[in-house]
Every structure is written in structure tokens, then in C-alpha cells.
Amino acid sequence: MVKSAKIANMGFVCALLVVIIHLADAPRDVGTPSWLAYAFVRQILATVAVPYFFLVSGYFLAQRSGESGWWGRALLKRLRTLGVPYLVWCLVPFLLFSVLWPVGSPDGICARAQMKASSVAAAFGLNFFTNPEANRPLWYLRDLFLLVLLSPLVGWLVRKTRGWILVAFGVLYLALNPGTLDFPGFWLGQRWRIVWAFGFSVEGLVYFSVGWFFAVHPMTLTRRTGLTAGAAGFAIGLVGVKLAASGSPWFGYACELSIPFVLAFLWTVMSPKPWHPLLVGNAFAIYVMHPVFLRLMLEPRRLLPDMPSMCFVEWAIAVGLTMLLAVALRKFAPRFAHLAFGGR
């Protein structure tokens, strides 16, 4: 009960952190208090969110892997819990911003698609050299389904190598994904970096496999170890913040290296008591819907005061509106909500 509550609570926190990643107007005055606050949350805390989702997904799937017919059932279940929400929350912004209201900037988190086959395919994530342009954060759902598809191989490798395959996956991760798409002179071109970051995420492969390993080889994280890991993670992350402030592309590697330590810290300090279902029950809804509200706020946001800290107001508005819509859908359109949120 304690572990399941911590998993759910942390999932909600990570969903909130994902919204931080996608804010349009971050403070730009390097060294100011608002910039430091944003940089700490964005580059040190928020970077753990999606790795956590991959890790938990691998953990839960591995627990079922010993059952007869588990893989087929897992694929069918993910078609409902990942595939249907993916289609719905790509279709909604596509209709809104490419068909019904094609105004404003063509770019952004819910990009406007041109009415031609290649652009529409990219909008719905059928081009692995770009994100699902209709709703970019849904690359995670696409990648997770691919990992579930490959999960028998992942599980076999983790079992046969007794976990040492994680080292190889980690090296591959650092070799293919420098943590930023803006890295002049990197040995891979940007299009291929997009593939390994979002098309088939090597980061996702690493943390999905780590979750699988933890399910097979349970480990206990003491409070002292978790707090020590947190101190190390924050130190490494602050190096990344400093590198980013100086314009160095190497900041991405520091952020990547800080993730496991910060994850251990957050797990250690996470409340073991169940939070209200209104919160934890809408973590997935926040993830899939917040891009629509961030896009809708592009023009109205200009009416807000032009202050560095307004990005946090934008975050609060996006989260609040997403929660309100999720609650309204569950109340007034329960069948649609059941499909759109994958039964969550």
C-alpha cells in the first residue's frame, strides 16, 4: 500500500513537472532570481519526470512477465490505455489548430499542420524524425508502446546478463543523446538526434530496463542513501545550470547524469500516504491535455504583465484548466473520458 501510494503521488508530481518543460516564456535574464528558480526546476527537477514514467512502466510490466500469455495481453491493454488516448489527443489539437482555428504561429507545442499527407502524418507521429507535431509530448506514449512491443527482448537481456545490459544501454544513451538538440559539432545530425531522443528514445530504453531490473531484483533505498543521492544529483544538476548559463551545449550531459540521483531523492521524500484521487487520478489527463491549453494561451498570455516570473502563472493556469476539464469530462462525458484517458 505504501509503495503504490508513493508511485501514484510521484506520478502526479512528475505530470506537473512535465508542464514546466513545455512553458513558452521562460525567464531569460541569466542570474536573476526568477531565472535561477526556473532553471533549477526545469533542468534539475523536471528532467526526471519522463524517465520516472518509463521506469514505473517497465517495473509494472516485468511483474506480469512470468504469467502465461502476458505479452499479448500487455499489447492489447496498451492499445487501449496508450493507443486510443494517443489518437484522441493528437486529433483534438489537430482539429483545433490546423482545421478550425489555423491562426497564430505555425510552430509550438501543438504545431499547425499543412494539409498534405506528409505533414498530417508528422502531426500524428508517423514520422520518427520529428515529434508528434499535433501534440508533441505524446512522443512518450508512442515510445512506451514500442518498448512494450520489444519487452520480451528487454526482459531476456536483463535476465541473461543479470542487469549488466543496463551499462551497455547507458553508454548507448550517452553516445546518441547529448541531452539537447542544439549541440553544434555533435557527431550525429539533429534529425538523427530527434530519432534517438523522441522517435525511439534511448533514455526511455534505459529507464524502462531499469524498472524491469528493479522488479526482478528488488532493492531497498534507505533514507540516508536517498538524501545523499539527492545532494549529489543537485550538485551535478547545478553544474549543468552553470554550463547552460554560459551557453555550453554540454549542460545536457550534466542534466542526464543527475537524473538517477534526483529520482532517488524524490522517491525518498515522497509522501507514503495516498493523496486525494482528484490529484493522482488526473496525472495522465494533465500529461495529455496540458499542451492544448498552453497553445490556447499563446495569444491571451500577451495580456498578462510582461514579467520574468509569469511563466509560473502560465503553469498554474494550464494545470488548473486541465484539471477542471478533466473533472468536467469525467462528470458529463464519462464514456468519452474513459476512452480519452485510457480507462484511468
Could you write out the DSSP letters of every residue in 246-291? TT-TTHHHHHHHHHHHHHHHHHHHS-SSPPPHHHHTTHHHHHHHHH
Residue 342: its pLDDT value, please?
96
- Return mean pLDDT, the chain: 93
List, for residues 224-254, the tens digit of each pLDDT value.
999 999 999 999 999 999 999 999 999 999 9
Distance CA 73, CA 76 (A): 5
Q: Of the candidates 158, 161, 125, which has an alpha carbon nearest to the alpha carbon of residue 143?
A: 125
Question: What was the pLDDT predicted at 25?
Answer: 78
Residue 304: predicted pLDDT: 66
Q: How confident is the model at residue 310 (pLDDT cuts 50, 70, 90)?
A: confident
Contacts of 77 (CB under 8 A, 6+ apart): none
> For residue 48, which of 172, 239, 233 has the smallest C-alpha distance?
233
92 band by pLDDT with thresholds 50, 70 and 90: very high
The pLDDT tens digits of the residues spanning 123-134 come to 999 999 998 999
The pLDDT of residue 66 is above 70: yes
Do 112 and 295 contact (CB within 8 A), yes or no?
no
Type of residue at 38 = Y
Q: Strands, E, within 56-115: which ranges?
A: none
For residue 289, what pLDDT is reported? 97
Helices 251-269 and 165-176 cross at an angle (nearest 10°) of: 130
Higher-confidence residue of 220 and 165: namely: 165
Residues 83, 109: Cα–Cα separation, whole Å: 20
Q: Which of 228, 238, 286, 301 is nearest to 261 (CA)?
A: 228
Q: Which helix (H) or strand (E) holds 51?
A: helix 49-64
pLDDT band at 120 (very low <50, low <70, confident <90, very high): very high
Query: pTM of the entire structure?
Result: 0.96
Residue 41, Ramachandran bin (φ over 0: left; ψ between -120 and 50: alpha; else beta): alpha
The answer on pLDDT for 176 being more than 80 is: yes
Give the Cα-Cα-Cα angle 247, 252, 257 (nearest 5 degrees): 140
What average pLDDT does range 88-111 have in this prediction? 88
The set of cell numbers assigned to 31 is: 542570474
Q: Which residue has the higher pLDDT, 305 or 239?
A: 239
